[in-house]
Amino acid sequence: MIRVDLHVHTMYSFDASIHPKTIVDQLYAHPLIKAIAITDHNTVEGYYKVRKLASAYQDILIIPGVEVSAVEGDLIVLGVAELPPTPWTVENVIDFARERGGVVAVPHPYRAYGLGDSAKNYDVDAIEILNGRAGPHINKLAENLAKAANLPGVAGSDAHRVSQLWTAYTEVQASSDTDEILKAVRKGLVRVASTRKSIHF
């Protein structure tokens, strides 16, 4: 089993401030979490910076990702280190991810820019049922959505600032390998967990 924070922003997101080096240093030092997905808003630049810095360390894994501002709502693509072509409709982003073997997760469906109930209408792989920056009620709604859609539930801190890192993570039944982790997410071999008592799910 590996613990993965599947939703992390770097300073390459327009609204985030975390330096890639801070992410790598903290991930390396973290007692539990040993893998992360870099999911900046509409850019993969931060991912490449983090990956480069992380290559000097063993035992940590950086999964490529992006949080795409699709017109209908946000989508996270995991396992793909490039941006989809525009227009960024949900259907187009999903097609793009499928062609490249990526996993599509719906982040914070009931927060601002979330897909809400309409997530059920799309061929996505997972729902983020524990978001480190969403309240318990919002996360509970997301968990109910995942159950109704019969989709795996995943977790991530959605950190935009250093203090928000590692608050929520996903326990994945896989080794430290991106393809294995993505495969396990698709199969639902996942469990969400929090390092903060204030987050309930």
Q: Which is nearer to Zn ion, 5 or 158 (CB)?
A: 158
Q: How many of the other CB atoms lie within 10 Å of CB of 167?
A: 21
Residue 8 Cβ, how far from Zn ion at the closest point, in Å? Answer: 8
Q: How many of the other CB atoms lie within 10 Å of CB of 53?
A: 18
Q: Which is nearer to Zn ion, 5 or 67 (CB)?
A: 67
Q: Which of 4, 5, 61, 67 binds Zn ion (CB under 5 A)?
A: 67
Backbone angles phi, psi at 184, to 5 degrees: -65, -35
Q: Which is nearer to Zn ion, 59 or 167 (CB)?
A: 167
Point out which span in 64-72, 87-95, 114-122, 188-196 binds Zn ion (CB under 5 A). 64-72
Backbone angles phi, psi at 160, to 5 degrees: -115, -20
Residue 17 Cβ, how far from Zn ion at the closest point, in Å? Answer: 13
CA distance 81 to 173: 23
Q: Report the residue count for the chain.
A: 201
Residue whose Cβ sits closest to Zn ion: 158
Give the sheet arrangement for strand 61-63, strand by strand.
Answer: 61-63, 35-38, 2-8, 168-172, 190-194
Residue 86 Cβ, how far from Zn ion at the closest point, in Å? Answer: 20
Contact 176, 34 (CB under 8 A): yes
Residue 40 interacts with Zn ion (CB under 5 A)?
Answer: no
Q: Under rule CB under 5 A, which residues in 141-160 are in contact with Zn ion?
A: 158
Q: Under rule CB under 5 A, which residues in 89-118 are in contact with Zn ion?
A: none
The residues binding Zn ion (CB under 5 A) are 67, 158
